[in-house]
Amino acid sequence: MQSCLAGRYFNLAAFDDERMVGFYIGEKAGPDFTLMDICVAPDCQGQGIAKQLLAEFIAYSKQHNAENLFLEVRETNVRAIKLYELAGFSEMSVRKNYYPSDDPNKNGFEDAILMGMTLLFA
Ligand SMILES: CC(C)(COP(=O)(O)OP(=O)(O)OC[C@H]1O[C@@H](n2cnc3c(N)ncnc32)[C@H](O)[C@@H]1OP(=O)(O)O)[C@@H](O)C(=O)NCCC(=O)NCCS
């Protein structure tokens, strides 16, 4: 795994030989750290790569004195929600109709779920 961003943003990428197969991007704002994005190549999903990247995000945040972790996820992204719950995140609030959606069961939008975790007592 390697990092290539600096300053307020930080990241880590997972490689299989020369090929990048996943990454996360984080942002720090005082004691609040946010997972901006996490992504794994479709043909490499289900192998625990995101779980490892997320563990690295949490470890980095702890090492840099984060007190609170946040992220936002589409309500229909069941995979990602499960991943975050397993890591210790829980739902904090819902942003109604936050994301555009082409799901025929939706009215053109879907909700965002704001999830968080405190590290204060970890
Ligand atoms: C969400 C995503 C990052 C998961 O990556 P991944 O490497 O496949 O995840 P992992 O293999 O580490 O699995 C971690 C957990 O996610 C859940 N998960 C993974 N694949 C799943 C599937 N097919 N169905 C349901 N849950 C799944 C499981 O809870 C799994 O833990 P477990 O294996 O102990 O049960 C990946 O699907 C992805 O890149 N999606 C597109 C981008 C995206 O939606 N990013 C999140 C933005 S908020």
How is the chain split into domains, by residue range?
A: 9-118
Residues annotated as catalytic are 72, 84
In the structure, what pLDDT confidence band is assigned to residue 35 with cuts at 50, 70 and 90? very high
Q: Does residue 61 contact residue 53 with C-beta atoms inside 8 Å?
A: no
Q: Long-range pairs for 88-96 at CB < 8 Å and ≥24 separation?
A: 88/58, 88/117, 89/115, 89/116, 89/117, 90/115, 90/116, 90/117, 91/115, 92/116
φ, ψ of residue 52 in degrees (nearest 5): -70, -45
Mean pLDDT across 51-72: 97
pLDDT at 122 over 80: no
| pLDDT at residue number 57 | 98
Q: Is 51's C-beta closer than 6 angstroms to any atom of ligand 1?
A: yes
Tell me the pLDDT tens digit for each residue of 65-112. Answer: 999 999 999 999 999 999 999 999 999 999 999 999 988 888 899 999
Ligand 1: does its nearest atom lie under 6 Å from the Cβ of 119?
no
Q: What was the pLDDT predicted at 88? A: 97
Residue 14 CA to residue 4 CA, distance in Å, equals 12
Q: From ligand 1's centre to the CA of 55, what distance in Å? A: 13
CA of 13 to the centre of ligand 1 (A): 16
CATH code given to domain 9-118:
3.40.630.30
Phi, psi of 102 (to 5 degrees): -105, 15
| Mean pLDDT across 31-52 | 98
Percent of the chain at pLDDT exceeding 70: 94
